[in-house]
Amino acid sequence: MRQSKLLATQLQKRDPDAWTALLRDHMEVENLVVTAVSTHPLPPRTKNSRRMTRYVLELAGHSDPISFIGRHIEAVEAAFYRDFALRLPHLTPGCIFLHQAEANGSGWAVLDDVPNDIDPGRWAVADVSAILEKLAYLHATFIDQADDLTSAGLPLRLDRTAYPWSTLVSQQAVYFEEGPAAILSEHALTQAGQLAPLFLQAANGLVVMRDLGGWPGILGESHLTAVADLLDDPVPLLEPLRQLPPTLLHGDPNNHHWRVTAFEDQRLTGWQTAAVGPGICDLVSFIEQFGLLENREQGGGFKTRPLWPVNEETIIDTYLLALSHRLGSRINTRALRQAIPAARCLYVLTNWFPHFATWFDEMPNKFTWQKVNRMAPSEFADTPLHGFMQLRPYLSGVFERFILAFRSL
């Protein structure tokens, strides 16, 4: 991968000579000539998504153009493509160019434009099985290599190192001033390690939901008490996961980051959340988001998957069998299976509760909230809660699985 700042600028400015030089170097074809370059900005999936552009290249002597994706990437994703992507040739999009202004800073990359021929809503059993095989391939490739992964700049997800108290107070001052921090004991924050900021945000979400009296049909008192117990003492949640061998995590291997081609190939994109931790966390993240599909027909947001091609047990069994096939006696699949409840509780705690305060902090009182929950989804049209309220059946399942997982810790 070439890393010249000058070349990065020329590529972004659609210079045919720069693209010619890059492709000749990458493809080792001396007579290749790029005659024209056009660009098509890609709409961001979320408001926090990094900018991406499709570069379409016309080649001399060829009727069909080829395309690549130019993507601004943060330090973690840059570290992944710089140091580890080449070890996963059957999983990641090829990275043919990476420029970083600083060794551990953000950058700009040129990636293969992997087609997404089979939308997640049309995945068959064979597609899901192949994806789980690839997920196991990722985790098996980097099993027990935490030192190499962290030294390259990837964060350790379950790091026991205590988050500095002064840093926590200064970064999350609002939670200490307005009360959510009172839910968390110093013991809990110490045990949380580097997850302490997320635990504080989860506590804030818990305060908001308790003030609203829960969420009828989704979050009852038993759910809220379970969350409070985990925030008070996270050891039963964290220790089963910390006992598992660490590996390279994608961090968010949901439907929308997978590209399934017509040639029975599966590629995983969006490595900005890469981290080091137990592979079972990726598996649970995949399961918990499997029921969500992008709602392109209505211009964005999400909808629920009407029918799962495989059930949860089949997903778990397929992944564990694939991992066992690759690692043999080096992996204890029974311990992985037993840690699934802990991984599920951690997922809900750190992925859902931090959002509740943001979503519902403007709800004036319990009365209004209860009234809102008696309304039909159609009554939320053209309101900020429209897309979210359509997901109530999905979220009901998420929190039902959560409470069952909590009871089995």
- Across the chain, what does the average pLDDT equal? 90
DSSP state letters, 228-260: HHHHH--HHHHHHHHTSPEEEE-S---GGGEEE
Q: How far is CA 253 from the centre of its chain?
A: 5
Provide the pLDDT for residue 319: 98
Strands 258-260 and 107-112, by their bridges, are: unpaired
**Structure token pair of residue 327:** 């690692």
**Residue 300 pLDDT more than 70?**
no
Of 31, 112, 105, whose CA–CA distance to 71 is shortest?
A: 112
98 vs 187: which has the higher pLDDT: 98
Provide the pLDDT for residue 87: 97
**Residue 376 pLDDT more than 60?**
yes
212: buried, middle or exposed (CB in 10 Å: 19+, 13-18, 0-12)? Answer: buried
What residue ranges do the domains of the chain occupy? 1-113, 118-409
**Residue 229 pLDDT more than 80?**
yes
Mean pLDDT of 233-242: 95
Q: What is the pLDDT of residues 313-366, one digit of tens each?
A: 999 999 999 999 999 999 999 999 999 999 999 999 999 999 887 777 666 677
Provide the pLDDT for residue 257: 95
Q: CA-CA distance, 353 to 371, in Å (whole number)?
A: 22
pTM metric for this prediction: 0.92
**Residue 2 pLDDT more than 60?**
no
DSSP state letters, 48-98: TPPPEEEEEEEETT-SS-EEEEEEEE-HHHHHHHHHTGGG-TTTSPPEEEE
**Residue 101 pLDDT more than 80?**
no
Provide the pLDDT for residue 75: 92
Provide the pLDDT for residue 279: 98
Q: CA-CA distance, 29 to 20, in Å (whole number)?
A: 10
Residue 167's pLDDT band, with cuts at 50, 70 and 90, is confident
105: buried, middle or exposed (CB in 10 Å: 19+, 13-18, 0-12)? Answer: exposed
**Structure token pair of residue 270:** 């969006």
Mean pLDDT of 149-166: 90
**What is the SS3 assignment for 111?**
strand
Residue 46's pLDDT band, with cuts at 50, 70 and 90, is low
Mean pLDDT of 270-277: 96
Looking at domain 118-409, does it have CATH number 3.90.1200? Answer: yes
Q: Which fold has domain 1-113?
A: Phosphorylase Kinase; domain 1 (3.30.200)
| Rounded to 5°, angle at Cα 344 from 258 and 335 | 100
**Residue 48 pLDDT more than 70?**
no
Give every CB contact of residue 183 below 8 A, 6+ residues apart in sequence: 203, 206, 207, 228, 231, 232
Of 138, 343, 142, whose CA–CA distance to 243 is shortest?
A: 343
Provide the pLDDT for residue 388: 66
Provide the pLDDT for residue 393: 86
Provide the pLDDT for residue 333: 95
Least confident residue range of 100-104, 118-122, 228-232: 100-104
Q: CA-CA distance, 89 to 250, in Å (whole number)?
A: 15
Provide the pLDDT for residue 283: 98
Residue 392's pLDDT band, with cuts at 50, 70 and 90, is confident
Q: CA-CA distance, 67 to 54, in Å (whole number)?
A: 7
Of 26-40, 155-169, 203-217, where does the model show the most confidence?
26-40
DSSP, res 104: T
Residue 18's pLDDT band, with cuts at 50, 70 and 90, is very high
Give every CB contact of residue 335 below 8 A, 6+ residues apart in sequence: 243, 244
Percent of the chain with pLDDT over 90: 67
Distances (CA, A) of 303 to 186, 306, 376: 40, 9, 16
Residue 171's pLDDT band, with cuts at 50, 70 and 90, is confident
Provide the pLDDT for residue 176: 72
Percent of the chain with pLDDT over 70: 91
Q: What is the pLDDT of residues 238-261, one digit of tens each?
A: 999 999 999 999 999 999 999 999
Give every CB contact of residue 288 below 8 A, 6+ residues apart in sequence: 344, 347, 348, 351, 398, 401
